[in-house]
Amino acid sequence: MDLLRDTDTFTKDSRAWQAGMPADSPVLPVLGHRPTALFTDGEVHARYRGAINDTLALIEPHLLRAEVAAVARRLIAGFSAAGGCDLIAEYARRLPLHVFTAAFGVASGATERVVRGIAGMMDSAGNAAAAYDDLVGVVAGLVAERRSRPRRDLTTYLLQHPAGLDDEAVRQITLIMSSGHDPTTNLIGNALLRMLDAGDRSLHGGATTAREAIDDVLWRDPPLANMGAHYPRQDTEFHGVALRAGQLVLVSFAAANTQSLPSASDPAVRSGDGAHLAWSTGPHRCPAKQPALLMAMTAIEELTSQLCDLELAVDPGELVWRPGPFHRAPVHLPGRFTPLGTLPEAGDSRTPEAVDHVPARVGGTPNG
């Protein structure tokens, strides 16, 4: 916590460290410097962060809950007759994708490129740089279109924000999408695994609620296990550890949490105590904590209310975890349940491009 809050000793600018890294390093798509709120300090960071905060403040909780529930029911309807599904590929990954791309106005034909780009950069595989470049290309095309054809979506609002973002808007939107989609996917998947594993691989075998599972995951398996990259401004000693100027100091939120990890029966976990670092802290703490929690809670509640006998289709020990140094989440989460037949799909019948995803505000400002 001292490190995350110490802006005098540490900077978020990674360029000095990056200069000593090979150009094809697979972690550069995540840690390489770019003009966003994640890699800046001081007034520049305040400008970017202010635009992001104001844009996210447009998301009305009750409208977000309704949209997540509608998307959840559509997705569940797609596999409810099969008696089984991959809870990651067919649900946890697709639900945030639909919500994020709809809110920013991404055309339906580009949504798969968005999720591939985000997943590719976070997995830090050999194609990480190409995956990130393709994601930036999608967002750049979206920004160019919204400059000529504004609509009521988050992209248009960000472009019209008093911060006066130029091409910087592309990078801020890319940051919001990449830091929002995969962690939310992982949070939903990890919490579902916790609920199913706690109940002898079935929902009806345990008594863990969605909120309890989410809180426990944020303590024990945070969706971003390692992040919060900082770099000393000069050679220094920090809590007895010698650090070089520009050296990468990567915070492990998962490891930090274990220092004060309550037991599973501790009321602190079951009541949603926020002493963990899953959301980070300091000036770069996650700006989308409440929307992410609401999305995960709603997604899990919709799934478990529809498929009340859902259980794991494999032993938990057989699960394969995603590669990459940053996150902690299973690649697949096979589930099975009693087939329900085809459920009626819920939601707006208009095309995604025709739906207003941002409510009207008095004066056109988030707090108006």
Please check the confidence at residue 123 and state whether its pLDDT lies above 70.
yes
* Low-confidence winner among 23-32, 70-79, 87-96, 195-204 (lowest mean pLDDT): 195-204
Q: What's the average model confidence in pLDDT over 296-305? A: 96
- Among candidate residues 83, 318, 99, the one with its CA nearest the CA of residue 188: 99
| pTM (2 d.p.) | 0.85
Distance CA 245, CA 235 (A): 5
Report which residue type is found at 289: K
* Low-confidence winner among 14-28, 59-73, 262-276, 300-314 (lowest mean pLDDT): 262-276
Please check the confidence at residue 65 and state whether its pLDDT lies above 50.
yes
Distance CA 307, CA 78 (A): 13
Q: Which residues fall within 8 angstroms of residue 349, CB to CB, at 6 or more apart? A: none
Q: Which residues fall within 8 angstroms of residue 113, CB to CB, at 6 or more apart? A: 134, 135, 138
DSSP letter, residue 343: P
Q: Which of 117-126, 240-249, 309-318, 355-364 has the highest mean pLDDT?
A: 240-249
* Low-confidence winner among 41-55, 160-174, 186-200 (lowest mean pLDDT): 186-200
Distance CA 23, CA 26 (A): 9
User: Residue 213: its pLDDT value, please?
Assistant: 92
User: Residue 263: its pLDDT value, please?
Assistant: 58
User: Residue 11: its pLDDT value, please?
Assistant: 98
Q: Model confidence over 171-203: pLDDT tens digits?
A: 999 999 888 888 999 999 999 999 998 654 445
User: Residue 209: its pLDDT value, please?
Assistant: 87
pLDDT band at 7 (very low <50, low <70, confident <90, very high): very high
Q: What's the average model confidence in pLDDT over 292-296? A: 96
Quote the crossing angle between the two packed helices 94-104 and 289-306, to the nearest 10°.
130
Q: What's the average model confidence in pLDDT over 222-226? A: 91
- Among candidate residues 233, 213, 206, 205, the one with its CA nearest the CA of residue 296: 213
Quickly list DSSP for 240-286. Answer: TEEE-TT--EEEEHHHHHGGGPPPTT-HHHHTT---S-TT--GGGS-
Pair of tokens at residue 54: 């104001």
Q: Model confidence over 305-355: pLDDT tens digits?
A: 999 899 999 999 999 998 888 988 999 999 999 998 655 554 443 333 333
Mean of the per-residue pLDDT values for the chain? 86
Q: What's the average model confidence in pLDDT over 153-168? A: 95
Q: What percent of the chain has pLDDT over 90?
A: 65
pLDDT band at 260 (very low <50, low <70, confident <90, very high): low
